[in-house]
Every structure is written in structure tokens, then in C-alpha cells.
Amino acid sequence: MINKIIQWARRKSPWILHFNSGGCNGCDIELLSLLTPKMDVERLGIMKESSPRHADILVCTGPVTAQTEARLKRIYEQMPAPKWVIAAGSCSCTGGVFSGAYNIHDGIDNVIPVDVYIPGCPCRPEAIVDGVVKLLEKVK
């Protein structure tokens, strides 16, 4: 019974942690516009958190640069299970337009396991919401 309530709460109110692992900022500002009055995802239960310990979902933007790789791993490890990862934007899926640069490990799935990939350069806010919804259906 308790498990059912917890499962329901997880689906109804996923808390997001946003980490920019070296991106141009385009996907980040589209992610931030989700909080603003036009899209307003807080009414859907999605809240943007500051600490890895509070978050259910890690939304990662940007390709992984050599300097952020260790931080990304550490943040992922600091998040309590169950946890999921969304790769938002073409750069975090495959390296995007920066693929082949000397300082980039293409895509975050080289570093941590990813559950949902959201393409786009930058990915639109509607696409991010769609990605979160698809993830929540997968969680069921």
C-alpha cells in the first residue's frame, strides 16, 4: 500500500535537477523557460531542485567536456535511487555540432546511463515536457 503511494508520488511530482555539462546555453534557457508563465510546469508537479540529493530526474544539457566528466559522475552518484537521466538536446545525445572536438566526449551516455534522449538544437520546451512525460510512462 505504502509502495503504491510512493509510486504515485514519484509519477505525479518528479523533481528535476539540471546540470549543464558544457553546452552553449541554448537548451538551458529553453529548460528554464519551462518554469515561466507561458509553459509553467510547476502546475504539473515538476519542480526544479538545487541539490542532487533532492532530485528524481537529472536533466543534462550540453556535450561532456573533459573537465565536467568527473562532476557529472559524482552528481549522478549523489542522487538517491530510483533515479533517471534525460539527455536534453543533440549535444548531450551524441555530441551534436561539437562532435570530434579535442575536449569533448560525445554524448553523456559515454559517462552515465541515459533513459530518455530528447533531440533538437536547441530542444524546444514542449519537447522537454514530452520527454519527461514519456519517462514517467516508462516508470509505471
Partner 1 sequence: MTVGNAFVELQKLSSEAEDISFSELNEKQVILSADQLLPAIKILHENDIYHLSTITGVYDKEHLCLLYHFWKEEGITLRIPIIDEKTSVETLTKTIPGALFYEREAAEMFGIQIDGLDTSEKMFLPDNWKGGAPMRKEPAVAPAEEKEED
Partner 2 sequence: MSRVTIPIGPQHPLLKEPMSFNITLEGENVIDSALRLGYVHRGIEKLAETRSFIQNITLFERVCGICSHIHTTTYCQAVEGLLELEVPRRAVYIRMLLCELERIHSHLLWMGVLAKNIGLNTVFMYSWRDREIVLDLMEEISGGRVSHAINTIGGVRKDLKEGQVQKLSEGLSVLSERVDELLRIVDNDRSFKARTQGIGFLSEEDVRRYCVVGPVARASGVDVDLRKNVPYACYDELSFKVVSMTEGDVWARSMVRIHETSEAIRLCEQIIEKLPEGEIAATAKRKVPAGEFISRSEAPRGEVVYFVKSDGSQTPARVKVRTPTLTALITLPRQLSGLQMADVSAVVAGVDLCIACADR
Phi-psi region of 62 (alpha: psi -120 to 50; beta: other; left: phi over 0): left
Contacts of 86 (CB under 8 A, 6+ apart): 57, 58, 59, 60, 114, 115, 116, 117, 118, 128, 131, 132, 135
Site for partner 2 in 111-130 (CB under 8 A): 121-122, 124
- Stretch of 6-14, 92-100, 108-116, 132-140 contacting partner 2, by CB under 8 A: 92-100
Measure the CA–CA gap between 104 and 98, rounded to whole angstroms.
7
Residues near partner 1, by CB under 8 A: 65-67, 102-103
User: 19 contacts which partner out of partner 2, partner 1, none, CB within 5 to 8 A by kind?
Assistant: partner 2
Letters for 25-54 (x = contact with partner 2 by CB under 8 A, - = none) are xxxxxx-xx-xxxx-----------x-x--
Q: How far is the CB of 16 from partner 2 (least distance, A)?
A: 13
Asked if 138 and 115 touch (Cβ cutoff 8 Å), the reply is yes
Which grid coordinates belong to 48? 526544479
Q: Which residues bind partner 2 (CB under 8 A)?
A: 19-30, 32-33, 35-38, 50, 52, 62-63, 65, 67-68, 71, 75, 96-98, 100-104, 121-122, 124
